[in-house]
């Protein structure tokens, strides 16, 4: 059991009076998670403040409380209460001290970018997971040991949860963890206190402007990862126009390795790519060595993901030949250009593409396997960045022969309005239809398709739910696709 004095946890943050300097044996930032002897961190939230649940936390056994935000004099407490400025930003540093700096005793790879975070993170974790070695993973599809992930609500969990996960992984003798670093997570300090040694930048496109306010602020959020004092290596997509900005954010001592499908000046670059039915066949140069790589992956964007993954693997001790061999065995990530059907039925790809650039890349990848008709089934999420909807409509119009617009996760927004926003980018000339019921849209498209057709179902990918109003209903694109293909005549 960890025992930490309050003065040690708050060192350099706030002075602790001797009378308040108690020892705590746990740490929690939600009252319902508090156990006997815990430090309760009462944070200011969007709708409530942690102090609103102070009595519950104390009843459950909180030994001390730290808080920020509102005035606390109106609250009665039988345990020490200490105001800590910027508590949310400092939560990661406090957690790191409590758990005795676990990330400093591990290899920590953080991957950021608009698209490709999940794929690159999973490829790295799969390659670093062998019969004798395991790799941790924290991201969109869950957290824990690769191959045995627990479901997660957020791509990047809050700082306390992130440090707790890493501590538990270290307790299981796992020496490397890969983390998806979302822009929200970086701005909100969810990675604060981590010793990140390797950072990967995949790309920067159009997303989350409803949260960040502008593309410039979105870019600045991503840059934060490359400003970490602990950073030793930065792996950068040289083909992205924001690559230089990420490089300039790094300290001078950081080793920068770039990858490219366009420039032979990078540490890893593409020589030749051939899309095959089983996946991409690549010839690449990696640190001056030319290698052939056979993969089970689809899409030009996955070439970038492969190159980034190889650089991380080599940076973490694998020989070039060993890294290439490992990469040839990896599997597509659920919901990322995941393939179904074929032979005497239409070929269907499921992809998480929910930004204009991701949809473009997915459709271009599908075109490599379409001799006749390419059909795109997609929608856009409600109560999220509405400015990208007509842009995604325009992308679908440009690359697909037929478009079916359906509901994604409309949440509390009117689905008709979402579809109308998409249609602004499609116009009246493209062949399109609207079927709001996503399951029916998928079933109808597959039933009416020819065996030579290729269908892209985009937007939800791995998700096994659909959010309608405030209800999260069970739903899976893959399940509807497999059922429709089974009944295909």
Q: Which two tokens stand for residue 473?
A: 């209903």
Asked if residues 64 and 24 have their Cβ atoms less than 8 Å apart, the reply is yes
What are the helix and strand counts (H, E) for the chain?
Answer: 16, 25
Environment class of residue 13 by beta-carbon count within 10 Å: exposed (0-12), middle (13-18) or buried (19+)?
middle
Residue among 267, 214, 222 at smallest CA distance from 242 = 222
Task: Note the pLDDT of residue 427.
Answer: 86
The SS3 assignment for 392 reads helix
Residue 81 backbone phi and psi in degrees, to 5: -125, 125
Consecutive 10-residue averages of pLDDT for the chain (489 residues): 91 91 95 96 88 93 91 77 93 96 97 92 94 90 90 84 96 95 92 97 81 83 95 97 96 96 95 91 95 92 95 95 91 90 92 92 89 93 93 95 96 96 87 94 95 95 92 95 89
Question: Which pairing describes strands 148-150 and 142-145: parallel, antiparallel, or unpaired?
Answer: antiparallel
Q: What is the pLDDT of residues 59-101, one digit of tens each?
A: 999 999 999 987 766 677 889 999 999 999 999 999 999 999 9
For residue 122, what is the DSSP state? H
Task: Note the pLDDT of residue 152.
Answer: 79
CA distance 29 to 123: 32
Percentages of the chain per state (helix, strand, coil), in multiples of 5: 35, 25, 40
CA distance 50 to 233: 38
Helix (H) or strand (E) holding 409: none
| Sheet hosting strand 338-341, strand order edge to edge | 338-341, 347-351, 454-458, 374-378, 402-405, 432-434
CA distance 418 to 380: 7
CA distance 213 to 4: 40
Task: Note the pLDDT of residue 74.
Answer: 63
Residue among 463, 447, 465, 437 at smallest CA distance from 348 = 447
Residue 336 backbone phi and psi in degrees, to 5: -120, 100
Asked if residues 388 and 360 have their Cβ atoms less than 8 Å apart, the reply is no
pTM, whole model, 2 decimals?
0.86
Task: Note the pLDDT of residue 72.
Answer: 67
What are the structural domains, with CATH classification, of the chain? 4-86 (3.40.1390.10), 102-327 (3.40.1190.10), 338-486 (3.90.190.20)
Q: At what angle do helices 301-315 and 320-327 cross, to 10 degrees?
A: 140
CA distance 419 to 462: 22
Asked if residues 4 and 23 have their Cβ atoms less than 8 Å apart, the reply is yes
CA atoms within 13 A on the CB side of 400: 30
> What angle is formed at CA 115 by the lines to CA 111 and CA 116, rounded to 5 degrees?
55
The SS3 assignment for 365 reads helix
Residue among 112, 111, 115, 109 at smallest CA distance from 461 = 115
Q: What is the pLDDT of residues 461-470, one digit of tens each?
A: 999 999 999 9
Task: Note the pLDDT of residue 489.
Answer: 66
Q: What is the pLDDT of residues 107-159, one digit of tens each?
A: 999 999 988 899 999 999 999 998 788 999 999 889 999 988 888 777 788 99
């Amino acid at each position: 059991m960890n025992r930490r004095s309050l003065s040690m946890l708050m060192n350099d943050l706030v002075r602790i009076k001797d009378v308040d300097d108690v020892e705590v044996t746990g740490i929690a930032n939600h009252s319902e998670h508090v156990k006997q002897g815990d430090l309760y961190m009462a944070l200011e939230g969007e709708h409530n403040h942690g102090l609103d649940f102070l009595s519950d936390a104390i009843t459950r056994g909180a030994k001390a409380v730290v808080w920020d935000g509102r005035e606390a004099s109106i609250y009665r407490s039988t345990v020490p209460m200490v105001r800590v400025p910027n508590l949310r930003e400092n939560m990661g540093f406090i957690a790191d001290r409590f758990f005795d700096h676990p990330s400093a005793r591990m290899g920590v790879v953080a991957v950021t970018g608009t698209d490709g975070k999940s794929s690159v993170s999973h490829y790295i974790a799969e390659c670093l997971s062998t019969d004798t070695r395991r790799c941790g993973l924290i991201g969109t599809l869950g957290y824990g040991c690769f191959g045995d992930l627990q479901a997660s609500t957020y791509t990047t969990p809050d700082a306390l949860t992130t440090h707790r996960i890493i501590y538990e992984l270290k307790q299981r003798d796992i020496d490397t963890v890969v983390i998806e670093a979302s822009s929200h997570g970086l701005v909100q300090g969810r990675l604060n206190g981590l010793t990140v040694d390797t950072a990967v930048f995949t790309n920067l496109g159009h997303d989350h402007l409803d949260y960040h306010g502008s593309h410039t602020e979105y870019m600045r959020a991503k840059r934060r990862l490359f400003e970490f004092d602990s950073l030793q290596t930065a792996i950068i997509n040289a083909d992205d126009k924001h690559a230089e900005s990420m490089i300039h954010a790094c300290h001078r001592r950081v080793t920068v390795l770039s990858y490219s499908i366009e420039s032979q000046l990078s540490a890893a670059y593409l020589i030749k790519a051939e899309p095959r039915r089983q996946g991409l066949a690549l010839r690449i140069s990696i640190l001056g060595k030319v290698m052939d790589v056979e993969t089970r992956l689809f899409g030009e964007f996955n070439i970038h993901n492969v190159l980034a993954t190889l650089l991380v693997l080599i940076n973490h001790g694998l020989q070039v030949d060993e890294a290439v061999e490992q990469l040839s065995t990896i599997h597509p990530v659920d919901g990322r250009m995941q393939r179904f059907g074929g032979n005497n039925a239409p070929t269907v790809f499921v992809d998480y593409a929910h930004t204009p650039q991701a949809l473009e890349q997915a459709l271009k990848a599908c075109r490599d396997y379409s001799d006749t008709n390419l059909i795109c089934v997609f929608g856009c999420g409600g109560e999220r960045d509405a400015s990208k909807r007509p842009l995604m409509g325009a992308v679908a119009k440009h690359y697909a022969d037929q478009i079916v617009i359906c509901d994604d996760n409309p949440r509390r927004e009117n689905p008709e309005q979402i579809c109308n926003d998409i249609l602004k980018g499609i116009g009246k000339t493209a062949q399109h239809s609207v079927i709001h019921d996503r399951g029916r849209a998928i079933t109808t498209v597959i039933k009416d398709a020819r065996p030579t057709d290729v269908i892209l179902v985009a937007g939800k990918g791995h998700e096994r739910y659909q959010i309608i109003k405030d209800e999260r209903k069970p739903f899976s694109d893959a399940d509807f696709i497999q059922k429709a293909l089974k009944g295909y005549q």
